[in-house]
A and B are shown apart, each in its own frame.
Chain A
């Protein structure tokens, strides 16, 4: 053994997180998604198509409800743009707005941009493991521009699929829980087809946003055209 066991363990944790990300994102992915947003007043559903390459680039188009049809989002690395047909404008989401709710859901703009870069921004450590799952603690890298103080991720063995992520703020208060459930075969792999975001802060407690992956194709060639600003308007139709 060249490395002391503790270090090996940290490496192992990083390895697991990388695998989890690969399993979720694939080399590329084309998804059809339904989003159900529940608040104490109402429940509404949005549908969208998502095209992504790794965790760096993605393109999202809203397809339902009709009045929002054709709103498109483009994400390249940490930047995000949106196109709104009604005002015929491409808007770059400014940094100050990244923490705002994304289309009234319990996800923020930042989530869409950052979610997939956990392996880059956080240091992983295995807290515990059983025969069926790992519990991994993720602490932000000192220089990483992230909003969370700590994440705790549950990862199912042996597929290395995420089960849940608990988000803590810098004071160590649990702010929200994301649960990945209903693992089934989608495309070429087993995939959690239902993601539930449960806010825990007083303001939003009791609300939830459910993401249902209704169709998925992984590791196919996606036209590079999708990942340009031109695409926002072009594929809005």
Chain B
């Protein structure tokens, strides 16, 4: 019965109902979309940063991250590979040997990072292969061929097939130098990386640097990237205290921290908006029910219990909230879905993004039905709660007062 009366009342006070629904639906849509955008952009930033080069899980000698010296290399890469061969959850495991060297071509000499990689596996754990701009990517058997960052190549004034010499320190601290030929040039868009990184086949670099079976670190691509932290823990346990396995949350702690701060500020902003909306709904309901005081007084005078009036009014606000939240959820959800497929592009902001080490300008939203339902539920509770005080207030009048209320 209350349902019927509530529906009838809602239809009778059309203007009030429509305004309430629009207000609540827009707010719900805003919340759903804002959450989707925040989650989506963070996810995108993390994936972009992690997948370009650092990788989801890094294995190093236990002291290497604190002091990345030649004393703290992995001196038995074969053993690490063997120990992890049957650990579930690892999609790809690949060693790298990073070395700081001086590149020289013509009269130009610039410092940079020369890294030995397993080309095939590396192609699966990082964006190196996909970022190729000119020439060819590396092959395992390549000797003295280098795959170089575009900015580094530009500074050295070399192109594909040109010669570049490098001078560095071998794993035994001896002098190591050789002349390389540029096989390919890549551009990830990450300026700092393109500006200093160059890659050669690890088998070749191992020979030149006296680093056979050594690695500065291993990169692991988890079968399920979202479980990187658990996998890192499992790897750490398997390898023992000699080694350290860190997920991107540790290796990229700065970025993770930045995301967290950004999320907090996002929620603070949304929170302020919701406090405003809460009071708007409350005041509006107050006005709406006050305008109906006479009606309520008459209802009471003909014998309706205060509890029945209360139930009727709450039912109205529940129905309105439900309609609004569903409508808002659908609108917000569709926007989230649309912008997931067609990411928002911030062209012209490349420089700002680069400062944060991000090589992209498109921000897809996240489309997570559960999160959307959570936001809808939150909005529902909030909008019903906002009407409780006004309803309570009008119920406090005695019938005779209410009827005479103008």
Contact = CB atoms under 8 A, between A and B. Distances in A.
Given A44-B173, A100-B100, A103-B175, A89 B165 contact: yes
B104 A96 contact: no
B213 interface: no
B110 interface: yes
A71 interface: yes
Q: How large is the interface on A (under 10, 10 to 19, 20 to 34, 35 or more residues)?
A: 20 to 34
Given A68-B175, A86-B177, A87-B165, A97 B69 contact: no
B357 interface: no
B109 A44 contact: no
Please report whether the interface of chain B is mostly helix, strand, loop or mixed according to DSSP: strand
A91 B104 contact: yes
B203 interface: no
Nearest to A103: B175
A199 to B, nearest CB: 11
Contact of B109 (A93, A101, A207): A93
B164 to A, nearest CB: 10
Interface string B37-73: 0000000000000000000000000000011011100
B225 interface: no
A42 interface: yes
A226 to B, nearest CB: 21
A94 interface: yes
A40 B111 contact: no
A86 B109 contact: no
A89 B69 CA distance: 27
Given A37-B173, A87-B177, A96 B69 contact: no
A233 B69 CA distance: 32
Contact of A92 (B71, B109, B175, B177): B109
A42 B172 contact: yes
A56 to B, nearest CB: 22
A103 B167 CA distance: 10
B110 A67 contact: no
A68 B110 contact: no
B174 interface: yes
Contacts of B67: 202-203
A187 interface: no
A204 interface: yes
A87 B178 contact: yes
Interface string B89-105: 00000000000101010
A87 B165 CA distance: 7
A84 B175 CA distance: 10
Contacts of B177: 84, 86-87
Given A82-B167, A92-B109, A104 B102 contact: no
B178 A94 contact: no
A86 B178 contact: yes
- Pick the most buried of A65, A82, A202: most chain B CB atoms within 10 A of its CB: A82
Contacts of B179: 87
Contacts of A203: 66-67, 69
Contacts of B166: 87
Given A44-B174, A87-B178, A104 B169 contact: yes
Contacts of A207: 71
- Pick the most buried of A67, A89, A103, A202: most chain B CB atoms within 10 A of its CB: A89
Contact of B167 (A44, A84, A96): A84
A6 interface: no
- Pick the most buried of A37, A91, A207: most chain B CB atoms within 10 A of its CB: A91
B386 to A, nearest CB: 55
A67 B178 CA distance: 13
Interface in B169-201: 169, 172-175, 177-179
Contacts of B172: 42, 44
B111 A97 contact: yes
Contacts of A41: 70-71
Nearest to B109: A91
A108 interface: no
Nearest to B103: A91
Interface string B142-170: 00000000000000000000000111010
B174 A65 contact: yes
Contacts of B107: 92
A82 B107 CA distance: 12
Contacts of B178: 86-87
Given A82-B167, A203-B69, A100 B173 contact: no
Nearest to B107: A92
Interface string A170-207: 00000000000000000000000000000000111001
A117 interface: no
Contact of B102 (A42, A93, A204): A93
B71 to A, nearest CB: 6
Contacts of B165: 84, 87, 89, 91
Interface of B: 66-67, 69-71, 100, 102, 104, 107, 109-111, 165-167, 169, 172-175, 177-179
7 contacts: A84-B177, A87-B167, A92-B109, A94-B111, A103-B175, A104-B175, A203-B67
Interface of A: 37, 39-42, 44, 62, 65, 67-68, 71, 82, 84, 86-87, 89, 91-94, 96-97, 100-101, 103-104, 202-204, 207
Given A44-B172, A104-B174, 14 more contacts: A39-B70, A42-B172, A67-B175, A82-B167, A84-B175, A87-B167, A87-B179, A89-B104, A92-B107, A96-B110, A97-B111, A100-B100, A103-B173, A104-B173
